Amino acid sequence: MTNLTDALLFRNQTIKTNLSVPDKPIQPRILAVDDSRVMRLAMRKILGKEYDVIEAEHGEDAWTLLINDSAIQVLFTDLSMPYLDGYALLDRMRASDDPHLQNMPVIIITGKEDDDEAKQQALDHGASDFISKPFESIQLLARAKAHVSFQQTTTKLTSTQEKLERQAAVDEVTGLAGQRYFCKASEENLAYASRHGGQYILVRMDLDNFDHIFIKNGKKAADAILKTIGTQLLGIVRKEDMLARVGLAKFAMLLRDTPMSKAKQMAKRIAHEVSNLRFKLNGDAEVKIELSFGIYEPDISKESNFALQLVAVEEYLQQAAEQDGNHYVAYSAVAEAGEEQTNLETALSHIKLNESEILENQIHGLAKRLFPLLEFIAKHFGEEAIELVNKLKNKILS
């Protein structure tokens, strides 16, 4: 198959043949995309006995086949191609309104010129797995079998409305809630809290540098790690709270009626327990997982917007990720709005009793009340003291 017309013709002939011979099992269909005819022929030769392999020379031809042939279950594609490269093809699929294209497994064929940075970029665009040139027959067949099986399972889950809802609600790898369910349930929780009163804390948690583990060790090993961590999280988070996997190594939590101090304690416990897990991959040294947390307590009102709350917690997560592993950045808009006020005498008492953590989400409020006193004291010690207090005030309150 050297062009799109031939591929479409082959597809139609295959359909007719399958219709005319009903007892013949229909082979799962795989689309192989590469501008090298030699590579396409190699894939057809290896996979052709077990799969219905169709070919495309570049991304544009592949896109035409994908939108016209719902029988395609798995895509193998090169990254560097004319007209439309592998990255752009991934973007079109993941941005499509068709759930079949959004969720189709895409295995990237990488060459010697494709370094870890290129693989990372492919992951960011929505790649499912990688295989390197030149590939071995066993390796290529194993990838095809694993992803065809996954796609067939996904297709069965979507056969009824009940299964559609399950697919949207549950992450198949970890057994946790999925992203769509988490956002929908959180929006409902916000609506209830804004009408009847209530409070919650949003937590976003990322496994640091997990993309590198995926690239070096493959999807199977990565899934095993994620499954173990998902089980660990279920044992820590309360049943009344929501816990979801929202990306490759991204998790989200909504903690109902929880003080900021408890949310921070939970983050510390998760970091400690997950860091104590050890994963031995591909015979190498044991891998230790570290995490970053963004913790955000929104000030809930009738004007509150859950999408904006997610943006806010992502900002605190990014601040934590810029530090070394196992860090959190927390912020309470409730405390900033003045709904939690601790007087200076009580604050000093907490410090003396080694309970300073209780005050961490009230720093700005305490500082605003403390600086008038500091400014008054500084006047009695001259210009240098006044300048020092002003610098501290600008740094904390700016």
* DSSP character string of 45-64: HHHTTTSEEEEESSHHHHHH
Please report the pLDDT score of residue 340 as a whole number.
Answer: 46
Burial zone of 11 (CB within 10 Å; 0-12 exposed, 13-18 middle, 19+ buried): buried
Domain range summary for the chain, segments of one domain joined by +: 4-162, 170-336, 344-397
Q: Which residue has the higher pLDDT, 88 or 134?
A: 88
Q: Find the range with the poorest average confidence among 43-57, 215-229, 300-314, 333-347.
A: 333-347
Tokens at 288, concatenated: 């230790």
pLDDT at 193: 84
Q: Where are the alpha helices (DSSP H) in 96-178?
A: 99-103, 116-125, 137-157, 161-169
Look up the CATH architecture of domain 4-162: 3-Layer(aba) Sandwich (3.40)
Nearest to 30 by CA among 16, 20, 219, 14: 14
Read off the pLDDT of residues 15-69 as tens digits, 9 standing for 90 and up. Answer: 444 444 445 568 889 999 999 999 999 999 999 989 999 999 999 999 999 998 8
Residue 9 has pLDDT above 60, yes or no: no
Residue 80, by phi and psi: left (phi above 0), alpha (psi -120 to 50) or beta?
beta
* Residue-wise pLDDT tens digits, 90-113: 999 999 988 889 989 999 988 877
Domains 4-162 and 170-336 fall in the same CATH topology: no
In the predicted structure, residue 11 carries a pLDDT above the cut 60: no
pLDDT for the residue numbered 19 = 42
Residue 108 burial (CB < 10 Å; 0-12/13-18/19+)?
buried
Quickly tell me which residue has 């003045």 as its tokens: 338
How far is residue 99's CA from residue 84's CA, in Å, rounded to a whole number?
A: 21
Q: What is the pTM of this model?
A: 0.58
Q: Which residue has the tokens 């804390």?
A: 201
Residue 196: the pLDDT is: 75
pLDDT score of 374 more than 90: no
Q: Give the integer Cα–Cα distance in Å for 361 and 335.
A: 7
Pull the structure tokens for residue 171: 């992450």
Question: Residue 363: pLDDT above 80?
Answer: no
397 band by pLDDT with thresholds 50, 70 and 90: low
Opening angle at CA 231, ends 267 and 361, nearest 5 = 10
Phi, psi of 172 (to 5 degrees): -65, -30
129 and 77 Cβ atoms separated by less than 8 Å: no
| Whether residue 162 has pLDDT greater than 80 | no
Q: Up-side HSE of residue 87: CA atoms within 13 Å toward CB?
A: 10
pLDDT digits (tens, 9 = 90+) for 184-208: 889 998 988 888 777 899 999 999 9
- For the domain made up of 170-336, give the CATH fold: Alpha-Beta Plaits (3.30.70)
Look over the chain and give the mean of its residue pLDDT values, rounded to a whole number.
83
CB 131 within 8 A of CB 140: yes
Give the pLDDT of residue 308. Answer: 92
Q: Which of 283, 277, 181 is nearest to 231 (CA)?
A: 277
Q: Which of 54, 74, 71, 55 is nearest to 149 (CA)?
A: 74
**Residue 204 corresponds to which tokens in the numbers above?**
């976003």
